[in-house]
Chain A
Amino acid sequence: SAVISQKPSRDICQRGTSLTIQCQVDSQVTMMFWYRQQPGQSLTLIATANQGSEATYESGFVIDKFPISRPNLTFSTLTVSNMSPEDSSIYLCSVESTPNTEAFFGQGTRLTVV
């Protein structure tokens, strides 16, 4: 299994500002995944981040709003840009132990936009 460190664990931000969330993995992984979990709801995939290439975004999510960096095989960041209260959610970083198998998650970042 992989150990994933995600930070910050929580933040309260003003609307119109941006927040960058960091995800560090204790081993090298090919793909990293970013999810959003809105209150009382399940996980929705935002994008898949491969090292050395642009992230692949799911329908409803765009790079201008959620830019992602993947500078190496153990680290990724997700930025939530120009935030509004609708962006209040838990954001989760995830990796797979081996491709197409179970996922391991960070502790999540609880974001509140006021």
Chain B
Amino acid sequence: EDQVTQSPEALRLQEGESSSLNCSYTVSGLRGLFWYRQDPGKGPEFLFTLYSAGEEKEKERLKATLTKKESFLHITAPKPEDSATYLCAVLPDGGGFKTIFGAGTRLFVKA
């Protein structure tokens, strides 16, 4: 069964303290892996798409990487405004449309 697991569930950082969020996935084939940011009371906001192992994408303090079994979202020198829930999602191969979401990592950055 296709599955996405994110860890940790919650992460508390001091401002400037770099860290990484993990997304492990089990799918028969991968068409794409997506990272989203979700603020409280809002819909998810798209961050990155990764398609193949070895691919990397960067945006400001965030960098997403992909291997054959997992993806990492690296946060460099985070600021309080980076506090949010980060969701990972995969679109499996196989002809369907269903994107599978992980449960998310809640990030808290303290000033």
Whether both chains belong to one complex is answered with: yes
Tell me the count of chain A residues lying within 8 A, CB to CB, of chain B: 25
* B81-105 vs A, Cβ < 8 Å mask (1 yes, 0 no): 0000001010100000111011110
Q: Across the interface, do B32 and A101 meet the contact criterion of CB distance under 8 Å?
A: yes
Q: Across the interface, do A107 and B42 meet the contact criterion of CB distance under 8 Å?
A: yes
Decide yes or no whether A73 CB sits under 8 A from chain B: no
Decide yes or no whether A111 CB sits under 8 A from chain B: no
Decide yes or no whether B69 CB sits under 8 A from chain A: no
Q: Across the interface, do A104 and B46 meet the contact criterion of CB distance under 8 Å?
A: yes
Q: Across the interface, do A102 and B44 meet the contact criterion of CB distance under 8 Å?
A: no
Q: Across the interface, do B32 and A106 meet the contact criterion of CB distance under 8 Å?
A: no
Q: Across the interface, do B98 and A100 meet the contact criterion of CB distance under 8 Å?
A: no
Tell me the count of chain B residues lying within 8 A, CB to CB, of chain A: 20
Which listed residue (B34, B42, B91, B104) contacts A108, Cβ 8 A? Answer: B42
Which label, helix, strand, loop or mixed, suits the secondary structure of the A interface?
Answer: strand
Q: Which chain B positions have C-beta within 8 A of A106?
A: 43
Q: Across the interface, do B34 and A42 meet the contact criterion of CB distance under 8 Å?
A: no
* A83-105 vs B, Cβ < 8 Å mask (1 yes, 0 no): 00000000010100001111111
Decide yes or no whether A41 CB sits under 8 A from chain B: yes
Task: Please give me the 5 A-B residue pairs with the lowest Cβ-Cβ distance, nearest first.
Answer: A105-B43, A43-B101, A42-B101, A42-B103, A108-B43
